Amino acid sequence: MSFGLTPPAQRAYDLQQGRERLQDALFRGVLTFRDQNGELVTYQAAPDMQAALKALDAEIIRLEGRTPASTILFRTSKGI
């Protein structure tokens, strides 16, 4: 389905949709998953699915032209 997006934006959108389906399968505890091409993929364990999610996240970030956060700054206070 195309919404008039540029090819990288369309690819990122498609990957986001696939990522959501993969994450739903992981949350349900299902290790067999049908990808966006209709292929049946069976993962050995949940960590394999989590690694696939991380790879999808990295590719989506790359396609969107964003850079992943490398530093997280915490500001804490005792409220005084």
At residue 50, does pLDDT exceed 90? yes
Number of domains in the chain: 1
> What is the percentage of the chain residues whose pLDDT exceeds 90?
31
* For range 14-25, the mean pLDDT: 90
User: 59 by DSSP, 3-state: which?
Assistant: helix
Q: How far apart are CA 29 and CA 55, in angstroms?
A: 19
Q: Mean of the per-residue pLDDT values for the chain?
A: 85
* For range 53-76, the mean pLDDT: 86
| Residue 74 in domain | no
| Residue 35 in domain | yes
How far separated are the first and last CA of the chain, in Å rounded? 54
| Residue 69 in domain | no
| Residue 1 in domain | no
Q: What are phi and psi of 11, to 5 degrees?
A: -65, -45
Q: How far apart are CA 68 and CA 80, in angstroms?
A: 34
Instruction: Determine the distance from the C-alpha atom of residue 56 to the mean position of all C-alpha atoms in its chain, rounded to a whole number.
Output: 4
| Residue 31 in domain | yes
Note down the domain range covering 14. Answer: 7-64
* For range 44-61, the mean pLDDT: 92
